[in-house]
Chain A
C-alpha cells in the first residue's frame, strides 16, 4: 500500500464535497447565534431539507425545485424555532431538541408513506456536477475545484456574501448589535424581534440548503438519518471559526478533510471504521475545550426581556 492511495487529489476533491454541507449549516448556525439564539436543531433541519428536496424532486422531476423546497422547509422550521424561542421565550435547547426529534420522526414517517420504506427513498432526479471552464484547466486546483455540483459553488458564494452581509451592511451591524446587546439595539430604534427572526430563519434556510446538498447534490435519494451528526459538527465548526463566516469556512474545510480522510482510511481497512468515525467528534470536543483556541460566543442565549 502506498501513501498516495490515501493522500492524493481525490482526497482534496472529497474534502470540498464533505465540507460543503458542514460549511452551509455552520454559517447558518452562525447567523442564529449572532442574534443570540443557539440552533441545536441544525441536524434536524438538514434532515428535513434532505427529505423535502428529494420528495419535491420525486414529484416534480426537477431537482432545482427540490433545492428550493429544501430551503423553504428550513425557513418554516426557522419560523417555528423563532416563535418558540423569541416570541414565547421558550428554552432554546429544548426547542432545538424537539426539532431534531420531530425531523427524525416526520422524515421516516413520510418516507414510508411515500415510498413504502422507512430506510430510503427511490432514486430521484438530482443535481449534476458542472465544470467551471477556466478553473478546470488549472493543474491540481482545477482537479480539486473544477467540477462539482452547483451547490458547492453556491456555498463559496454564500460564505463570501455572509462576510459582506455581517460586517459591511447596515443589516449586519444590527444583527451583531442585537445578539450582543439587545437592549442597546432596541433603544437605538432597531426592531430586535424582527432581526432575531430574520437571523434564525436565515440560519435554518442555510441548514435546509445543506440538507439538499446531502440528498440531491451528493446523492440522488433520501436515506433516514442521512444528516449523520453533521449538524453538530457544523455547530463545532462555527465555534472553531469564532462566529465569523471565513473562520467558519476554514473550520468546515478542516472537518471535511477529516471526514474525507476517514472514509479513505476505512476503505483501506487500516483502522476500524468506528474509531475513525469518532475522530470528528473528538476533534470537536478538543476544539470546544479551547485547547486549540479559546472561543466565546457573542451572546448568552437568553431571550431578550423587554423592560
Chain B
C-alpha cells in the first residue's frame, strides 16, 4: 500500500532563511504522525507547502502514490488534504454551516444555497466524528475550542483523508486538549491520516504513532513512538541543553511598588474581561503571570500602560494612582513595556534604529531642546551607546529596523525600554518567536533588571519560562487572579489546573 503522503527532497528558502532544507517526510495511511520541532524549525512551512500555500523551491510531493503539483489549497483539498491552521481561518460573521460549506456549497433550484440540507450534513458530520457543535450560530459567538472543531469539520466536509493540525493545543485549556486528543483518536479509527504539529513532547507520546523531528529547517529523523523516549526526542529537537534554571541572586523583596486594586476593564466588544483584578508587584521581583491566552492578559497590559480605558479600580505606582495618567505620563513615571508583538506594537519598522530608540523619550531633554527640535548630537550619542551596550547588530544607527533580524529587533526594544531605568517592566511574551540565543539574552536582561531593583511582570504562555524566572507566580483565569504560587513548591499540573479554572490540590 502506498503511503498517504510522501514529500521528498523539499527545500524552501525565504530571504535570509533556509526554512526547509532537503526534507523527506512520509506519512503512512491511518497513522497519527507527530511533526516535532521548536519555533522556527520549519514545521509550519513544510505543511504549508503540502497544503499548497507555498511553492517549494525543489522537491516533489506524492499523494497516495501519485505525484501532485500543489499549486494552491484548492488542489490540496482535491487531493484529500485538510489543514487546521494555528490562526483559525474562519469568517466571524458567518454561521458554522456557512463557514463549513464555503467553497463547496450545496445548491438547490439551480443557483440557491441549500442551507437546510447543508445544516443537516454538518450536524451529521459533527456527530459522526464526536465534534459537538451547533451549526446555526455565528463563529464570533463560539469559544476557541468550538471554533477549532469547526475548522476540523470544515476539512472533513471537504473530504479530507489527510488532516494537518498546526499546533492545535497551543490555545486550548487542558480539558479542551483532552477532548481534542480523543477526537483525533476517533478520526484515526475511521481511517484518517493525521499530521500533528507540536513542540510539546507530552502530547506526542499520548497519541502519535511515529514522530518526525525538524531542527532549524533540517530533518533530524523519523522515529516510532515505541522505540524512543522523551530525552532522546528532546535531544533531537533542541540544539543544546537549555538552562532550565537561571542564576538569580537571593534578594529579599519587601517594598510593594506597584499595586492594582479592583480593576475592571472591558474589551473591544464591550465584554467585561478584567473582573475586579488585584495584583501586587514588589521591587527586586519577577512576578510571573501564568494563564491561557485570552483570559484578560492583553487588556491588563493595555490598562496598565494607559492604552485602554478602565471602568473602575486603581493602579498605584509608589502609592500614586496613575490610572488616569496618559500613556506618556505613565512612561515618564517609570513604566516600561515590551509588547507582545514587537513588530506591530513595539517598533516602527520604517524608522531607523536611532528613531526607534528615542520613541517615548522623543519629547524630553536631552533628545529635544527647549524648542522641541531634536538634538541630533545627543540622539546619535545615546543611540551609539545603546547599540554598543545591548550589542545590537546593525550596520549603523540609520539602518531601517525592518532590515534587522527578529532577535536584533527585540534588542532594540529592550535597549529602549530598559535604558529609561524603569520602576516596572511589563514583559509580554518577550521571547516568543526568538531563537535560543536571543531568548537567553532577553531572560538574562530581565533578571538584570530585577537585580537593579525594578519590578518585572512577566507574562508568558511558556510555563517553563515563567517557572524558571519568577520569584512568584500569579495565575490569571477569566479576568481574575485565582492563585499566587511559589515556583519552588508548585508543579506544572497544579498550575495547569488553576489556569483551566480548577482548584489546585
> Residues of A with Cβ closer than 8 Å to B?
164, 168-170, 172-174, 176-177, 180-181, 183-191, 298, 306-307
Q: Establish whether residues B89 and A181, one from each chain, have CB atoms under 8 Å apart when the complex forms.
A: yes
- B116 at interface by CB-CB < 8 Å: no
Query: Chain B contacts of A172 at CB under 8 A?
Result: 113
Query: Chain B contacts of A164 at CB under 8 A?
Result: 112
> Residues of B with Cβ closer than 8 Å to A?
48, 51, 53-54, 72-74, 77, 83, 85, 88-94, 98-99, 101-105, 107, 111-113, 154, 158
Q: Considering the complex of A and B, which 10 residue pairs feature the smallest CB-CB distances, nearest first?
A: A170-B105, A188-B103, A184-B89, A189-B74, A189-B103, A187-B89, A188-B102, A181-B91, A190-B103, A177-B91
Q: Establish whether residues A176 and B89, one from each chain, have CB atoms under 8 Å apart when the complex forms.
A: no
The listed residue (A170, A184, A190) touching B107 by CB distance below 8 A is A170
CB-CB nearest in chain B for A306:
B53
Query: Chain B contacts of A186 at CB under 8 A?
Result: 73, 89
The listed residue (B54, B73, B93) touching A189 by CB distance below 8 A is B73
Q: Establish whether residues A170 and B113, one from each chain, have CB atoms under 8 Å apart when the complex forms.
A: yes
A173 to chain B, nearest CB (A): 6
Number of A-B contacts (CB under 8 A): 74
Q: Establish whether residues B103 and A169, one from each chain, have CB atoms under 8 Å apart when the complex forms.
A: no
Q: Which of B99, B103, B104, B105 has the most CB of A within 10 A?
A: B103
The distance in angstroms between the C-alpha atoms of A164 and B112, with both chains bound, is 8
The listed residue (B51, B74, B94, B107) touching A177 by CB distance below 8 A is B94
The distance in angstroms between the C-alpha atoms of A180 and B92, with both chains bound, is 8
Q: Establish whether residues B111 and A185, one from each chain, have CB atoms under 8 Å apart when the complex forms.
A: no
Query: Chain A contacts of B112 at CB under 8 A?
Result: 164, 168-169
Q: Given the known A-B contacts A307-B53, A307-B54, are A184 and B90 also in contact in the complex, defined by CB atoms under 8 Å? A: yes
The distance in angstroms between the C-alpha atoms of A176 and B51, with both chains bound, is 24
Query: Chain A contacts of B94 at CB under 8 A?
Result: 173, 176-177, 180
Q: Establish whether residues A177 and B111, one from each chain, have CB atoms under 8 Å apart when the complex forms.
A: no
Query: Chain B contacts of A298 at CB under 8 A?
Result: 93
Assuming A306-B53, A307-B48, what are 7 further A-B pairs, CB within 8 angstroms? A177-B94, A184-B102, A187-B51, A188-B102, A188-B158, A189-B77, A189-B158
Query: Chain A contacts of B111 at CB under 8 A?
Result: 169-170
Q: Establish whether residues B90 and A173, one from each chain, have CB atoms under 8 Å apart when the complex forms.
A: no
The listed residue (B83, B92, B93) touching A187 by CB distance below 8 A is B83
The listed residue (B83, B113, B154) touching A173 by CB distance below 8 A is B113
The distance in angstroms between the C-alpha atoms of A188 and B99, with both chains bound, is 9
Query: Chain B contacts of A173 at CB under 8 A?
Result: 94, 98, 101-102, 105, 113
Query: Chain A contacts of B158 at CB under 8 A?
Result: 188-189
The distance in angstroms between the C-alpha atoms of A191 and B104, with both chains bound, is 12
Q: Which of A164, A183, A187 has the most CB of B within 10 A?
A: A187
B87 to chain A, nearest CB (A): 8
CB-CB nearest in chain B for A191:
B74
CB-CB nearest in chain A for B73:
A187
The listed residue (A169, A183, A190, A191) touching B113 by CB distance below 8 A is A169
CB-CB nearest in chain A for B104:
A189
Q: Given the known A-B contacts A169-B111, A173-B98, are A188 and B89 also in contact in the complex, defined by CB atoms under 8 Å? A: yes
Query: Chain A contacts of B90 at CB under 8 A?
Result: 181, 184
A186 to chain B, nearest CB (A): 6
Q: Establish whether residues B102 and A185, one from each chain, have CB atoms under 8 Å apart when the complex forms.
A: yes
Query: Chain A contacts of B72 at CB under 8 A?
Result: 189
CB-CB nearest in chain A for B83:
A187
Q: Given the known A-B contacts A190-B103, A307-B53, are A180 and B73 also in contact in the complex, defined by CB atoms under 8 Å? A: no
Q: Establish whether residues B73 and A176, one from each chain, have CB atoms under 8 Å apart when the complex forms.
A: no
Q: List 19 A-B contacts (CB under 8 A).
A: A168-B112, A169-B113, A173-B113, A176-B91, A177-B102, A180-B93, A181-B90, A184-B89, A184-B91, A184-B102, A185-B102, A186-B89, A187-B51, A187-B89, A188-B102, A188-B104, A188-B154, A190-B102, A307-B54
The distance in angstroms between the C-alpha atoms of A176 and B94, with both chains bound, is 9
Q: Which of B83, B113, B154 has the most CB of A within 10 A?
A: B113
The listed residue (B48, B51, B89, B107) touching A183 by CB distance below 8 A is B89
The distance in angstroms between the C-alpha atoms of A187 and B151, with both chains bound, is 11
The distance in angstroms between the C-alpha atoms of A183 and B89, with both chains bound, is 6
The distance in angstroms between the C-alpha atoms of A177 and B101, with both chains bound, is 11
The distance in angstroms between the C-alpha atoms of A306 and B55, with both chains bound, is 12
The distance in angstroms between the C-alpha atoms of A180 and B74, with both chains bound, is 19
Query: Chain B contacts of A174 at CB under 8 A?
Result: 102-103
The distance in angstroms between the C-alpha atoms of A173 and B102, with both chains bound, is 7
A58 to chain B, nearest CB (A): 38
CB-CB nearest in chain A for B51:
A187
Query: Chain A contacts of B77 at CB under 8 A?
Result: 189
The distance in angstroms between the C-alpha atoms of A183 and B112, with both chains bound, is 25
The distance in angstroms between the C-alpha atoms of A186 and B75, with both chains bound, is 12
Q: Establish whether residues B107 and A181, one from each chain, have CB atoms under 8 Å apart when the complex forms.
A: no
Query: Chain B contacts of A306 at CB under 8 A?
Result: 53
B106 to chain A, nearest CB (A): 8
CB-CB nearest in chain A for B85:
A187
Query: Chain B contacts of A181 at CB under 8 A?
Result: 89-92
The distance in angstroms between the C-alpha atoms of A168 and B108, with both chains bound, is 10
A263 to chain B, nearest CB (A): 39
Query: Chain B contacts of A184 at CB under 8 A?
Result: 88-91, 99, 102
Q: Establish whether residues A185 and B103, one from each chain, have CB atoms under 8 Å apart when the complex forms.
A: yes
Q: Which of A164, A168, A184 has the most CB of B within 10 A?
A: A184
The distance in angstroms between the C-alpha atoms of A173 and B99, with both chains bound, is 9
A172 to chain B, nearest CB (A): 8
B157 to chain A, nearest CB (A): 10
A306 to chain B, nearest CB (A): 8
The distance in angstroms between the C-alpha atoms of A170 and B110, with both chains bound, is 11
Query: Chain B contacts of A168 at CB under 8 A?
Result: 112-113
Query: Chain A contacts of B103 at CB under 8 A?
Result: 174, 185, 188-190
The distance in angstroms between the C-alpha atoms of A185 and B53, with both chains bound, is 13
Query: Chain B contacts of A180 at CB under 8 A?
Result: 91-94
The distance in angstroms between the C-alpha atoms of A172 and B51, with both chains bound, is 26
The distance in angstroms between the C-alpha atoms of A180 and B111, with both chains bound, is 23
Query: Chain A contacts of B88 at CB under 8 A?
Result: 184
The distance in angstroms between the C-alpha atoms of A289 and B486, with both chains bound, is 52
A46 to chain B, nearest CB (A): 29
CB-CB nearest in chain A for B110:
A169
The distance in angstroms between the C-alpha atoms of A184 and B111, with both chains bound, is 23
B134 to chain A, nearest CB (A): 19
A296 to chain B, nearest CB (A): 11
B381 to chain A, nearest CB (A): 39
B217 to chain A, nearest CB (A): 17
A112 to chain B, nearest CB (A): 45
The distance in angstroms between the C-alpha atoms of A173 and B104, with both chains bound, is 11
The distance in angstroms between the C-alpha atoms of A306 and B101, with both chains bound, is 22
The distance in angstroms between the C-alpha atoms of A4 and B107, with both chains bound, is 52
Query: Chain A contacts of B99 at CB under 8 A?
Result: 184
Query: Chain B contacts of A183 at CB under 8 A?
Result: 89
Query: Chain B contacts of A307 at CB under 8 A?
Result: 48, 53-54
Query: Chain A contacts of B93 at CB under 8 A?
Result: 176, 180, 298
A167 to chain B, nearest CB (A): 8
Query: Chain B contacts of A191 at CB under 8 A?
Result: 74
The distance in angstroms between the C-alpha atoms of A9 and B283, with both chains bound, is 78
The distance in angstroms between the C-alpha atoms of A183 and B51, with both chains bound, is 14
B435 to chain A, nearest CB (A): 21
Query: Chain A contacts of B48 at CB under 8 A?
Result: 307
The distance in angstroms between the C-alpha atoms of A187 and B73, with both chains bound, is 6
A170 to chain B, nearest CB (A): 4
